[in-house]
Structure 1
Amino acid sequence: MATQPLSSETGPSSSIFSGNSRIPEDTVFFSIFPDSSLSTSSTITTDISSSLQTLHLGILNSISPFTSSYIWQHEPFSLSISFSSCVCCSSSSSPLPHLHGKLSFGDNLEDEWFTVFLLFHVSNAFPSLSIRVWDGDGEFLLIESAFHLPRWVNPDNSRNRVFIRGGDLHIIPRHLLPEPTLVDSLLFLVEHADKCRASDPVQAAVKNRISEYPERASRNMHSVRVRVPVSVALVLRHEPCFISLAVEGFYDRDIDSMRFAARMERFLSEGKRENLVRVTVRMSRAMYAQLVQQTFQAPKCYRMPNRSDAEAYMEAELGMKIACGLEMIYQQRKKEGVEGKGSTWRKYKESLERSGYFEGLIPGSKEYKRLMENAEEYYRNSSLFSRTSEMMSAPVKRIDEILALPHSVDDFKGLEVPPSDDDSWLYNGEDELNSALQERQKEMELYNAKLKKKQKSKEPQDAGTSSHTNINDFDLGEIAKSMQQFVQKVSSYKGAEVPEDRNLEEVDLDVDRFMKDMESIMKQHGHQDTAVAHGEEGLSSEMDFDDSEDESDLGDTSEDNDDAEDVFMHSYSDVMNEELKNTTLKKSFLRASEQSSKENLGASSAMDEDFTPVDVDFNLVKGLLDSFSSQQGLPGPTSNLLGLMGVQLPKDGKKSN
């Protein structure tokens, strides 16, 4: 028997939109929590609802001077009242009355940061509010201030810690609330806001990003003169924000929507006899770029002026794109409004698939179609269908209302149409990009300089000679010592770090158990491939394990095995040395005897060479110095690595010419 379709009457946090659904990458979310909601019981009263409605209207009135003339990319800034758990929480034991909203900014990142500006403004105007804002990247305000954050902050532990309150950014400290719930953090903010206010550099980094608003929002608008059909001009006169729908329809067009543009049934009812009128359209720079940068051929039914008049043709071409986009979005929304199948239906269908409703049936099969019809019927009888249908049909109904008004070409004759704004910004954006990159580069250099200064201040007193520029006072042993500390430092799963006086959580590796497991595996293959097994063990001895550990791990082996291993290792070493004699590899290493004396070059010294150990520290220092010398004073791997360790090499005085 088929599984019953999921109910669509549940709240936002427990509905089909929660769970495994991914956050859209081009959408910013925000939640506003009044302090009064924290002291309420689980029973929702009329007073709470009235308080939230009053707050809702107050916030919208507060931001209306900034948003009244702003053209949003996809949807305007809006808030709704919720009495359920916040969408930013996976679960909650009790409802939490609050305001929440989301805004799809698409390719226009300005919309997201303008939203952040509005939220900071709301926070200043209403000090008793705590605001959360996040997007597909998570806490993007922390990303903006990454160079100034405390070291403990990371994406894994920042949940329920980042808020906007009183016009400032707040970060709940980990030592005060190790694993806070949303309610815990909100209560902490109310009682101890001064203890969790982010540092001044963090505040400056975030506020600097929104410091140019709202003036920047006005500069982001672009006015352009176009020639469009009368019906399009009338719609844009009454609803200037519908230009975003037109651009969306044009930019996101597909084969199905292109069929609507080919007929132009709604906005070009008279075909080529339709007169074009000249009007000024206001849109965002992102919208203008999306229209201009795409090549699009006018439908056969669309009247275009002669190309000989370049100005008129360019105005008509841009207007044609707007008219076609408006036609496509109108017909598409009309169809989705009737069917009620927008993004809500897609998410509902995905929830059915995840729950196993289709029982692994092949799409298109008879049983699959029967289950799909059952799901569609259930969906049409749900509140989701009515809400989606109403939302999709809203622009369609508004356009129909506008076009029902009496209108003619004469309504747009004799009107003064200002010229288009300069669009050189579209082609000269390299300077702005370079300026932004240089600003980030300066920020990174300042961060590295502070980090380097901090590391130098932590150096022991006996390591001070490493900073001397006099080569006679420079202790080369510090290089080998620092490198040994770096190699011996146990790294975490995040990678190796320069030795520093910090308590870091490291990977807990049971060396004894690891060696015993390796020994067990080697014994299993010992009878079939003894040489390979012992060869692997010989190579593993090069790892930095203590001899005591090796002996304890292998203490249960017999003396015969020990003797056999010794014989094998000697044979293995002889064969390896014999192979290396035919190469120049051994000549690249200096041995201990070569440092003290190079006078004895007879046959006996050649024989003793095989038994003379390689001076690891000397070869290490020599290699680093040779590499540093080849940098000729420029940045390079050696200076960067040693610089992180607090070792400052003096300049090479021999490279004088």
Structure 2
Amino acid sequence: MATRANLDEGAGDPAPEHDGFEKQLPDNCVEYLLFILDSQLDARKQLSQIESIRRSAIQLTNTLTKDYIWQKDELNLELKNEQGLVYLHGITDYSDAVEDEWLIVYILRELTKSHPNLWVRAFDTDGEFLLIEAANVLPKWLNPEIDHNRAWVHEGKLFIIPAKDDAGPISRTLSLPDAVEILKSKPDVLVHSTFIEAEAFYRLEKYPAQIADSTHHSLVTIPRKVAHVLNSLPKSIAPAVEAFYLRDAIAMKRVISPPGPLTFPPEDLVTVSVKFSKVLFAQLRSQRFEAPPAWQAVLQRGQKEASSTDAEKTTARLNLGMELTCGFEILAANAEKSKSRVVRELAITLEDLAEDGDDALPSNEEIKSWKDTNRDDSEAWMDINFEEFERELEGKRGKESQGAASGFGDVNTQSDLRKIVSRFEAFLNDDDAGVDGAELDDMDVDDDDDDSDEDSEFEDKDVSFDEDEFARMMREMMGLPSAEAKDPAEAKGKKAAKPRDTGPAPINEEDEEIKKLTSEFEAELNQHGALKLDPTTEKKPRVKDSSASAESTGTSSKDVTQQEDGEEEDSEEEVDIDYNLAKNLLESFKSQAGMAGPTGNLLGMMGFQLPRDEDDGEEEEEEDDNGGPSRQGKPGR
């Protein structure tokens, strides 16, 4: 039996540590360290100030997040004494809600503004995520290999421990005690850049308004018992949705074939407004879930009783309530053993209901008196309008969406899109970039030169790669004209001018075998016409047609042939088209059947818009008098 005395059992247990292994932060978690750095404080006064800061952090969190729904964990702090350091430590699992991580950063930064001796470091699974946000403006020396323990928040500002000071270079791998010692003894060497700080704290500009904007209210049809639980414990919505969202076959047995009566049977249904976070609502709304046996009759009856105008809304509210109730059903199975304080409070509430009976449930009049009981927010923020998205990227936002508060018309989303586009344009317009593209940092350069020097000493100069010879062989294999000089005497002179080896080159049997296989491979490709890349051989039918037309006009076949040859030569001189490349491009575009594809996207980026090929359906094959196929219909493109 759960009691209120055991609510805190298991909460805040430190993660086990293993000697010899580096501690790895779990996925989707943010870790934060709070230090009081004042050389004039003794140990007792330092502990007193640390406890004062812990209380201030809890008070500030409760004030800012009174109506906020955390996805999983909220900000938590505990005293820690490790490596000779005494500080406050906390880890928060934000799951799929990244905004929870930034809300914690916002709370900690606000906390440093009111405590001048407070220094805060925050990092997550990716590392120093504040520096990752500011990667576009970081100096070249500050790369992921050496940024550990270098970013600190103090008095609302971001400070960075440099790689060197007046006394010389600072260790590349900076440990936590070394970093704290530098903060204490050398605060003047710290780097504070307004550009880095603006980029690192960019996502904090929308706070504290973002706390209220992250919620979503929706009308759902649920059992009265679930409505009572949500009114008593609004934050229990998060673990209930998570239980349904992460359900498995074992958890679903509790809903499909329960061993006993259901904790939340689909009886005495009421329609109330439930407050979600936007992430939780999206997780619940996006699920495809087949109704369990206990709910099938309820859904059928609800669809029949609904009017034709409100049938869609009624069904949606009932389905959403069914999914939410199933989440609470799964959650209640092991609520007493949960590590979450909110879930253990749910177990106590259910025990109180079991003792008091249905008399403790709220009446319809009491439900109407609840706050925002009829609030039903728009779900337009879940819809993606790709046309509006394209306009946002192009900076052509229409006047009709100027006042919109959802979708890509949202102020925060629009600002993020513009930031992405501006960064990409800055990358493309970087005049400092060389011909090789992005510049290499020190971490990208291989410092291991011993092996390369050793290999160069024993390099076989006789078998070194000859680019010119390789290019000549490839052109001959592919049937292309040779790029050598046309004058035999000139070519012979160039060949004679090349330096010769002093000794005879040894005959390599492998080289002879490779040449033999190459010639056989080339002969087979030529036999099947794979290397015939010159389309001029297919122009003979034009001469035949010209001669036939010459007989009807009285012009000699010889004159027409000479005329056609002249036109062909002139056209080849004027237009230099890779026939095979053009043919392959058109066939690839045709295979897209009007849909999006690589060829269409590539040509669109180059400014070409090809029409759809809709004439193939009108072409038919017929046999002529000799049995040969002939084409009728419109000519292909």
Query: Normalising to structure 1: TM-score of the pair?
Result: 0.60
1:244 match? 238
Cα separation, partners in 2 of 1:580 and 1:269, compared to 1, 3 Å: closer
Of residues 291, 303, 318, the one that matches 1:307 is 303
Is residue 264–residue 327 contact of structure 1 (8 Å, CA) maintained in 2?
Answer: no
2:223 match? 229
Cα separation, partners in 2 of 1:452 and 1:38, compared to 1, 3 Å: farther
AA at the equivalent of 1:312: T
1:234 Cα offset (Å): 1.0
Of residues 198, 203, 209, the one that matches 1:204 is 198
Cα separation, partners in 2 of 1:107 and 1:150, compared to 1, 3 Å: same
Of residues 454, 460, 463, the one that matches 1:513 is 454
Is residue 221–residue 285 contact of structure 1 (8 Å, CA) maintained in 2?
Answer: yes
How far does the alpha carbon of each residue in 1:340-383 deviate from its partner, in whole angstroms, 9 at most, with x for none? Answer: xxxxxxxxxxxxxxxxxxxxxxxxxxxxxxxxxxxxxxxxxxxx
1:331 Cα offset (Å): 1.0
Cα separation, partners in 2 of 1:223 and 1:253, compared to 1, 3 Å: same
2:566 match? none
Is residue 248–residue 325 contact of structure 1 (8 Å, CA) maintained in 2?
Answer: yes
Cα separation, partners in 2 of 1:271 and 1:115, compared to 1, 3 Å: closer
- In structure 2, C-alpha distance between the alignment counterparts of 1:78 and 1:152, rounded to whole Å: 34
1:156 Cα offset (Å): 1.3
2:379 match? 423
Of residues 41, 45, 56, the one that matches 1:58 is 56
Is residue 78–residue 102 contact of structure 1 (8 Å, CA) maintained in 2?
Answer: yes
1:199 Cα offset (Å): 1.2
2:610 match? none
1:196 Cα offset (Å): 1.7
- In structure 2, C-alpha distance between the alignment counterparts of 1:181 and 1:108, rounded to whole Å: 30
1:81 Cα offset (Å): 2.1
Of residues 423, 430, 447, the one that matches 1:443 is 423
2:347 match? 396
1:605 match? 490
Say whether 1:164 aligns with 2:153. yes
1:297 match? 290
AA at the equivalent of 1:610: K
Query: Any idea what SS the aligned residue of 1:291 has?
Result: helix
- Alignment root-mean-square deviation, CA: 4.0
- In structure 2, C-alpha distance between the alignment counterparts of 1:220 and 1:427, rounded to whole Å: 16
1:17 Cα offset (Å): 10
Is residue 277–residue 409 contact of structure 1 (8 Å, CA) maintained in 2?
Answer: no
Q: What runs of 5+ residues in structure 2 fail to find an aligned partner?
A: 1-9, 390-407, 500-575, 578-637
- In structure 1, C-alpha distance between the alignment counterparts of 2:232 and 2:343, rounded to whole Å: 19
Is residue 120–residue 167 contact of structure 1 (8 Å, CA) maintained in 2?
Answer: yes
Query: Any idea what SS the aligned residue of 2:111 has?
Result: helix
Of residues 267, 276, 281, the one that matches 1:283 is 276
1:209 Cα offset (Å): 1.5
How far does the alpha carbon of each residue in 1:87-116 deviate from its partner, in whole angstroms, 9 at most, with x for none? Answer: xxxxx3x2x221111211111111111111
- In structure 1, C-alpha distance between the alignment counterparts of 2:340 and 2:347, rounded to whole Å: 11
1:197 Cα offset (Å): 3.6
Query: Any idea what SS the aligned residue of 2:384 has?
Result: coil
AA at the equivalent of 2:74: P
Of residues 343, 346, 361, the one that matches 1:408 is 361
AA at the equivalent of 2:303: R
Cα separation, partners in 2 of 1:266 and 1:122, compared to 1, 3 Å: farther
Cα separation, partners in 2 of 1:589 and 1:491, compared to 1, 3 Å: farther
Query: Any idea what SS the aligned residue of 1:33 has?
Result: strand
Cα separation, partners in 2 of 1:142 and 1:413, compared to 1, 3 Å: closer
- In structure 1, C-alpha distance between the alignment counterparts of 2:152 and 2:340, rounded to whole Å: 35
1:322 match? 324
Query: Any idea what SS the aligned residue of 1:419 has?
Result: coil
1:608 Cα offset (Å): 2.6
**Rg comparison, structure with higher value:** 2
Is residue 232–residue 267 contact of structure 1 (8 Å, CA) maintained in 2?
Answer: no
Of residues 147, 153, 164, the one that matches 1:175 is 164
- In structure 2, C-alpha distance between the alignment counterparts of 1:389 and 1:414, rounded to whole Å: 31
How far does the alpha carbon of each residue in 1:390-437 deviate from its partner, in whole angstroms, 9 at most, with x for none? Answer: 897454335434665542352545447323100101013753478634
Of residues 102, 105, 113, the one that matches 2:91 is 102
AA at the equivalent of 1:318: L
Is residue 36–residue 49 contact of structure 2 (8 Å, CA) maintained in 1?
Answer: no
AA at the equivalent of 2:322: M
Aligned positions, number? 446
- In structure 2, C-alpha distance between the alignment counterparts of 1:188 and 1:490, rounded to whole Å: 29
Is residue 230–residue 276 contact of structure 1 (8 Å, CA) maintained in 2?
Answer: yes
Residues 200-599 of structure 1: matches in 2 within 5 Å?
A: 200-262=194-256, 268-269=262-263, 271-272=265-266, 274-302=267-295, 303-304=298-299, 305-308=301-304, 309=306, 310=311, 311-334=313-336, 336=337, 393=344, 395-401=346-352, 404=355, 406-408=359-361, 410=363, 412=366, 414-415=368-369, 417-428=373-384, 431=389, 432=408, 436-446=416-426, 449=429, 452=431, 494=444, 506-509=447-450, 512-516=453-457, 518=458, 537-540=461-464, 582=476, 589=483
Say whether 1:23 aligns with 2:25. yes
1:170 Cα offset (Å): 1.1
Residues 73-92 of structure 1: matches in 2 within 5 Å?
A: 73-82=71-80, 84-85=81-82, 92=83
- In structure 1, C-alpha distance between the alignment counterparts of 2:474 and 2:263, rounded to whole Å: 88
**Which structure has more RCO (C-alpha within 8 Å, separation ≥ 6)?**
1
- In structure 2, C-alpha distance between the alignment counterparts of 1:219 and 1:579, rounded to whole Å: 67
Query: Normalising to structure 2: TM-score of the pair?
Result: 0.61
1:29 Cα offset (Å): 1.1
Cα separation, partners in 2 of 1:603 and 1:171, compared to 1, 3 Å: closer
AA at the equivalent of 2:73: E
1:214 Cα offset (Å): 1.2
- In structure 1, C-alpha distance between the alignment counterparts of 2:288 and 2:37, rounded to whole Å: 53
Is residue 229–residue 346 contact of structure 2 (8 Å, CA) maintained in 1?
Answer: no
2:580 match? none
AA at the equivalent of 1:137: D
Is residue 147–residue 444 contact of structure 1 (8 Å, CA) maintained in 2?
Answer: no
- In structure 2, C-alpha distance between the alignment counterparts of 1:539 and 1:283, rounded to whole Å: 71
Cα separation, partners in 2 of 1:320 and 1:584, compared to 1, 3 Å: closer
How far does the alpha carbon of each residue in 1:233-259 deviate from its partner, in whole angstroms, 9 at most, with x for none? Answer: 111111100000111111011111111
- In structure 2, C-alpha distance between the alignment counterparts of 1:514 and 1:284, rounded to whole Å: 61
1:462 match? none
Is 236-245 or 407-416 further displaced after alignment?
407-416
Is residue 225–residue 264 contact of structure 2 (8 Å, CA) maintained in 1?
Answer: no
AA at the equivalent of 1:323: T
AA at the equivalent of 2:444: K
Is residue 161–residue 172 contact of structure 1 (8 Å, CA) maintained in 2?
Answer: yes
Matched-pair identity in %: 24
Cα separation, partners in 2 of 1:391 and 1:537, compared to 1, 3 Å: farther
1:542 Cα offset (Å): 5.7
Is residue 12–residue 18 contact of structure 1 (8 Å, CA) maintained in 2?
Answer: no
Query: Any idea what SS the aligned residue of 1:256 has?
Result: helix
AA at the equivalent of 2:57: I
Is residue 130–residue 200 contact of structure 2 (8 Å, CA) maintained in 1?
Answer: yes
- In structure 1, C-alpha distance between the alignment counterparts of 2:161 and 2:104, rounded to whole Å: 23
1:67 match? 65
- In structure 1, C-alpha distance between the alignment counterparts of 2:349 and 2:18, rounded to whole Å: 30
